[in-house]
Structure 1
Amino acid sequence: MPEVNVDTPDGPVSAVLERPDGDGPHPGVVVVHDALGLSPDIRGIVRDIADHGYVALAPDLYSRGGTARCMPGVFRDLLGRRGRAVSDLLAARDHLRSLPDCSGAVAVVGFCMGGGFALALSPMGFDASAPFYGVLPRPLDEALSGACPIVASFGARDPILPGAGKKLTATLERQGVPHDVETYSGVGHSFVNHLPAGPAAPLLRVVGFNYGEEQAADAWRRVYSFFDEHLTR
């Protein structure tokens, strides 16, 4: 899996870059990892996005010092919608646009923490946003003013984000933002992610942190259809 450096205002960060077959140009997608970082699961998702015809770039938001050291600052930047992590992700967007095989149209996809970033970044120069169970930024109407088209996915059994899909839909409708928001029954948080196996795995399933094969497949179908509509230039 190709590792690259992305130049940012605070110095370079490492990232994973995957390309589709063919010369292109192809639309680009910035992939924002969850709190676990650039895990094998996220790396597999980056490859899958590329296999569907997109130049996919996932910056490592923890690359300046590791998970424990960087996570508090990354979450602070998420809640404030500003700071080093936001600058890193905007630099990743610009890096994609600079590539000769990128068409210039760039979307952002994120999971959990990364889903929150995908929502927060939706008014910041992206062409589409696909948050998966992302924390809704506050105040929501202000945070999403001028947002790009959004395709969002939530789980009905999510203990962290009850009612988030309805709240997001209402805001996007008020603001006239093109959107496709779905809340899937039978699954909760992280339903498109393969979480690491371990002693806590059964408890995570009980509280709604579980992979849902059918729901995940439908969510990705919606995302790629939405991107096909909004990333054509």
Structure 2
Amino acid sequence: MTELIVDVAHDGATLKNLVVLPEGTGPHPAVLIYHQWSGRSPHEEGAARALAGLGYIGIACDLYGDAKRGTTQEENTALMMPLKDDRAKLRGRLLSLVNAFAAHDAVDADRMAVMGYCFGGLCAIDTARAGARVKASISFHGLLGAPEGLDEPQIHSSVAIHHGWDDPMAPPEHVEAVAKELSARGADWTLTAYGHAVHSFTNRDANAKADGMAYDARADARSWRALTAFLSEHIGS
């Protein structure tokens, strides 16, 4: 595997994305990985390397610029909220990443997917909501609320949502709302809820179940198997 940093400019920010290329001659199918609220981290970078081992280009995206990372809840919130509160700006940033990597020589633009964790899970669903020409959008313990005041183009992407049923950041009414939204918009979608799992169930460093954030090995393993099957179905390998 080969690793490199690819810069993408958007709205005054330089997004520094870790790209992990698989062995063999390209172009290859590619998966953009959106990060949790703290910024691009070893969690997303590890997923990129694991996907490269399966024959995909794994791209751990930087949504904040200059690979900024928070180290406290206050810093993480300060990084995330300007994008979470401005979904039009977030949409532009997500589409800029998709379009930039669709034009990359190593990427098969007809076989692209996006996925994300927590805040990145919302970004994965928002990429589909924006009408991006990707084949699959996968959310892991993501925030689910729809943007307000934005247009609703045709959803081209198949959507898979992996949700911890006890996640306090995505209560049952949010789950029902996103299901109704995707159905009303004619999307191909699936939603899997993992019993007893809470927020951040794929993150081995999450250990605050009293606050609704904890790793769950069973949900992590099951959702990864589901991911690989979904990617194989929609973009091959």
TM-score, normalised via structure 2 length: 0.82
Instruction: Determine whether 1:215 maps to 2:215.
Output: no
SS of the residue corresponding to residue 12 of structure 1 reads strand
List aligned pairs for 1:48-197, cutoff 5 A: 48-64=50-66, 66-67=68-69, 72=78, 74-83=80-89, 85-104=90-109, 105-124=111-130, 125=132, 126-138=134-146, 146-147=154-155, 148-163=157-172, 164-195=174-205
| Cα deviation, residue 232, structure 1 | 5.1
| Cα deviation, residue 55, structure 1 | 1.1
Contact kept? 2:47, 2:58, Cα under 8 Å: no
Residues in 2 aligned to 1:143 and 1:19: alpha-carbon distance in whole angstroms: 35
Are residues 73 and 174 of structure 1, via their aligned partners in 2, closer, same or farther at CA, if it must alter by over 3 Å? same
| Cα deviation, residue 109, structure 1 | 0.7
| Cα deviation, residue 61, structure 1 | 2.2
Residues in 1 aligned to 2:153 and 2:6: alpha-carbon distance in whole angstroms: 33
Contact kept? 1:61, 1:74, Cα under 8 Å: no
Residues in 2 aligned to 1:21 and 1:6: alpha-carbon distance in whole angstroms: 24
Instruction: Determine whether 1:225 maps to 2:235.
Output: no
Where is the strand percentage greater, Structure 1 or Structure 2? 2
Residues in 2 aligned to 1:168 and 1:139: alpha-carbon distance in whole angstroms: 11
Deviations 1:4-26 (A, max 9, x none): 22233535321111112221332
| Cα deviation, residue 141, structure 1 | 11
Residues in 2 aligned to 1:220 and 1:144: alpha-carbon distance in whole angstroms: 30
| Cα deviation, residue 67, structure 1 | 4.3
Residues in 2 aligned to 1:123 and 1:192: alpha-carbon distance in whole angstroms: 24
Deviations 1:95-144 (A, max 9, x none): 22122231112211111111111111113313211011222233589776
Residues in 1 aligned to 2:230 and 2:67: alpha-carbon distance in whole angstroms: 36
Overall identity of the aligned pairs, in %: 25
TM-score, normalised via structure 1 length: 0.83
Amino acid at match of 1:189: H
Contact kept? 2:13, 2:64, Cα under 8 Å: no
SS of the residue corresponding to residue 225 of structure 1 reads helix
Are residues 102 and 165 of structure 1, via their aligned partners in 2, closer, same or farther at CA, if it must alter by over 3 Å? same
**Unaligned regions of 5+ residues in structure 1, if any?**
none
Contact kept? 2:162, 2:193, Cα under 8 Å: yes
Residues in 2 aligned to 1:139 and 1:66: alpha-carbon distance in whole angstroms: 25
Are residues 86 and 74 of structure 1, via their aligned partners in 2, closer, same or farther at CA, if it must alter by over 3 Å? farther
Q: How many equivalent residue pairs?
A: 226
